[in-house]
Amino acid sequence: MLNFTSVALGRSEVDFLAVPVCEDAEIHADKELAALVAEARGLEEFKAEAKQQLMLYNLLDGRVLRCLFLGLGPRKKINAETLRAFAGRAVKVAMTAKREAMTIAAPLAQALDLPPERLLQAVAEGACLGNHTFTRYKEKPKHAPLQSISMLVPATMAKQFAVLPGRVEAICRAVCQAREWVSTPGNDKLPEQLGRAFSTAASRAGLQVRTLDQTQLKRHKFGAMLAVAAGSAHPPCLVEISYTPAKAADAQTIVLVGKGVTFDTGGIDIKPATGMEAMKGDMAGAAAVVGAMLAVAKLKPKQRVIGITPIVENMPSGTATRPGDIVTSYAGKTVEIGNTDAEGRLILIDAMAYAIKKHKPDVLVDLATLTGACVVGLGEKIAGVFSRDDALRQAIAAAGEAVHERCWPMPLPDDYKELLKSDIADISNMSSSRYGGAITAALFLSEFTNETRWAHIDIAGPAHAKKASDYCGPGGTGFGVRLLCELLTRRQP
């Protein structure tokens, strides 16, 4: 549980206190905090360099039992992400020390030239996100999450931003739930299992849920999605989650679509064995969308928000779709299957066409671990964002920058559409060139968006982390949840 506190350190006992220290500036106005920092600076080995840490015990006449000092580095390099990282590291130290609670001293916003709300939000996010470990399959987990995290702030700020802890906690819980879904192995999140998990979580959050099973998908002619699922013994489903604001009459409709391939072998065009185990995370787009919807239930934005997740397993078998097959999509266009491993775009086009026909959204955004080409181009920490709508693309990039879920604008050149031509169908799902795969995948999606304002976010890189970072463990990162929440918060009807 996250909360603000304004206790006087000189008169209250604190079990575990974390204090950020700037290398070349004072960033705390509180007299007791300043005294603690002065004591740490008095030790020759502590310079407050970036990520340097020092633990001291029984300070302020024993009222602070444990005090962790964490260096932030020079003031000119400190930003919101520096503070997220600080808080995440502090929580991990407390978890390692097997504490149940801790207090984090927030630095003075004016000293760092950051807006107070942005500073407090960054510290709170880092703390909440760092307080998560995926232990479902561990008989004896090494560390347990803290039961309580308090942020030490001036009383005036605690009153001014009283709603912030609850808001941040709601978003971060949704991020951590998305991480859990992504990290869960494929044998425990078959399409019917994941669909049920999504539906249950959304229903408990008070959201409206509708699930289309395989029979309904056939009736509504989700031909491209069914083609991907054809090789699996486990039937596909589509989960539709809706949030309607109190004043719905004039509200914009925002649709979020997330790719939900619970395990991707590549189908008949099977992937190499090396690294295939990571394909349990090919539903990270769906996890991000449902996570965002769980947060939306708490945040209650002014827009009508609908999350749609097509869920399938892509397997090779005697019933699997073959390379060269032609399928008819929900939109009515025929698609030649140039490669069965280009499956994500097939389930997305049916879900997007369904969303456009049924909901007529003002804005449609899809998230997908779509292409390795995007990872080659942007690395493992930055997503690619594609849209012909400059304002929408810029809004997504700005939202990503604000929460450090970075999205780099990518091109959609019309002449590249030539690479998707088919001699016998309306379009091919595979480019005729080995280059520019992230671009041609986005162009393929764009053929099914009509005139709708649409953006595609390729999260193949940042959806999964091989190693732990300051506020995220190895495995699913939950990338996209905070990005979508920030985007929805910024957009006005």
Report, as ranges of residue numbers, the positions in the chain whose pLDDT lies below 50: 492-493
Residue among 209, 236, 232, 377 at smallest CA distance from 312: 236
> 118, 271, 302, 333: which one is catalytic?
271
At residue 490, the pLDDT reads 84
Q: How would DSSP label each residue in 297-358? A: HHH--SSEEEEEEEEEEE--STTSPPTT-EEE-TTS-EEE-S-TT--HHHHHHHHHHHHHHH
Q: What is the pTM of this model?
A: 0.95
Q: State which amino acid sits at residue 161.
A: F
> Which pLDDT tens digit goes with each residue over 137-182?
998 888 899 999 999 999 999 999 999 999 999 999 999 999 999 9
| Angstrom distance (rounded) from CA 370 to CA 397 | 18
Active site residue 271: yes
Query: 358-394 in b/e burial notation, b at 16+ Cβ within 10 A?
Result: ebebbbbbbbbbbbebbbebbeeebbbbbbeeeebbe
Residue among 280, 187, 293, 188 at smallest CA distance from 239: 293
> 99, 259, 345, 482: which one is catalytic?
345
In degrees and rounded to multiples of 5, residue 240 shows phi and psi of -120, 120
> All domains of the chain, ordered by start, with CATH?
2-156 (3.40.220.10), 169-490 (3.40.630.10)
Pairing of strands 475-476, 464-465: antiparallel
At residue 491, the pLDDT reads 63
Active site residue 189: no
Q: ∠ CA(109), CA(115), CA(120), 5° rounding?
A: 65
Q: Token digits for 84? A: 């997220």
Q: Token digits for 224? A: 């491209």
Q: Is the dihedral of CA 449, 450, 455, 458 positive or negative?
A: positive
- The residue ranges of DSSP E strands in 433-473, in sequence order, are 453-458, 464-465
At residue 493, the pLDDT reads 39
Pairing of strands 407-410, 383-386: parallel
At residue 8, the pLDDT reads 86
Cα-based distances in Å from 491 to 251, 302, 454? 11, 9, 14
Packing angle of the helix pair 80-96, 116-130 (nearest 10 deg): 30
